[in-house]
Amino acid sequence: MKKSFLFLLILTISYSYAQSVNEYKAIIVPVKYEFLKGENQYRLNTITKFNLNKAGFVSFYNNETIPSEYSDRCDLLYADVVNDSGFLTTKLYLTLKDCYGKIIFQSLEGKSKEKDFKVAYNEALTEAFESVYELQYKYSGVRAKVQPAVVAAAATPVIMEKAVAIELKSDLTSNEGSVLYAQATETGFQLIDNTPKVIMKLFKTSQANSFIAIRDAVQGSLILKDNQWYFEYYQNDKLISEKVAVKF
């Protein structure tokens, strides 16, 4: 009975997600997951990429040089593995998000009661991929209908599940005029360029309109003032404020 229910649940998920997932050309896999300390720890990133390829997807690590036919970032999905483990059970599931951070697919939760972290994570992630295989992915050639979320600036709190596009405008940075795209993380956002390469990391604070921001070795704050975002940090004991234009 339990197996029959699980089968029906997987079929329902497959029907709900397959069409939209099929509209994306490839998947970007990070080389490090937020809940782990190092790159490809326990080989989870390798396992993710291997299973995505086995399921029929084209996938790239986020530090790879991507072929020109995959240069439009909104034709791609962005993989993440989420750790929802309890005290005695390791629980992982996979999400695939579009270029604005919207979840297009979320796998069933994989579980393991193994005590060894490497064994438990591998076992749980492998089980999570069962529902990915059920998608029977095949690229449709139809361009995905991707639209950014429309949010009134400063009138409502920042919604962490949504992604934003940020255009840097500053005489203090070589990235002037380049567009960065925010992907939601467990702690806030990571801002990437169209490579995609992580340029800046944002961490949530108790204030909806203020983030702790890290760009390379520079740590500061991203703050909303008078409907305008600013990246502020100290340099040689002097407060530097870089104006940032945000598009929702």
Residue bearing the bigger pLDDT, 48 or 15: 48
Q: Which of 88, 118, 133 corresponds to the end of one domain?
A: 133
Distance CA 160, CA 13 (A): 24
Q: Does pLDDT of 163 surpass 70?
A: no
From residue 217, alpha-carbon distances to 185, 213, 239 in Å are 20, 11, 16
Distance CA 48, CA 29 (A): 7
Distance CA 98, CA 102 (A): 5
221: helix, strand or coil: strand
Q: Which domain holds residue 214?
A: 165-247
Helix (H) or strand (E) holding 15: helix 2-21
Residues 123 and 207 in one domain: no
- The model's pLDDT over 36-76, given as tens digits with 9 standing for 90+, comes to 999 999 999 999 999 999 999 999 999 998 899 998 888 99
CB 181 within 8 A of CB 73: yes
Does 142 fall in a domain?
A: no
pLDDT of residue 193: 67
Strand-pairing partners, residue 245, are: 167
Residue bearing the bigger pLDDT, 26 or 204: 26
Q: Does pLDDT of 203 surpass 70?
A: yes
To the question of pTM greater than 0.85 for the whole model, the response is no
CATH number at residue 122: 3.40.50
Residues 35 and 77 in one domain: yes
Q: Does pLDDT of 14 surpass 70?
A: no
Does 243 fall in a domain?
A: yes
Does 235 fall in a domain?
A: yes
- Angle CA 73–53–162, to nearest 5: 35
- The model's pLDDT over 118-142, given as tens digits with 9 standing for 90+, comes to 999 999 999 999 999 999 999 988 8
Residues 114 and 17 in one domain: yes
Residues 170 and 116 in one domain: no
User: Which of 19-33, 96-110, 120-134, 155-169: highest mean pLDDT?
Assistant: 120-134
Distance CA 133, CA 53 (A): 10
Residue whose C-alpha is closest to residue 183's, from 61, 95, 243: 95
DSSP sequence for 130-180? HHHHTT-----SPPP---PPP--TTTSPPPTTS--EEEE--TT-TTTT-EE
Q: Does pLDDT of 169 surpass 60?
A: no
pLDDT of residue 231: 82
Quote the number of domains for the chain: 2
Distance CA 121, CA 224 (A): 39
pLDDT over 90, % of the chain: 39
pLDDT of residue 38: 93
Chain mean pLDDT for the chain: 78
Residue bearing the bigger pLDDT, 80 or 176: 80
Does 149 fall in a domain?
A: no
pLDDT of residue 112: 95
107: helix, strand or coil: coil
Q: Residue 247 — pLDDT band, cuts 50, 70, 90?
A: low
CB 124 within 8 A of CB 112: yes
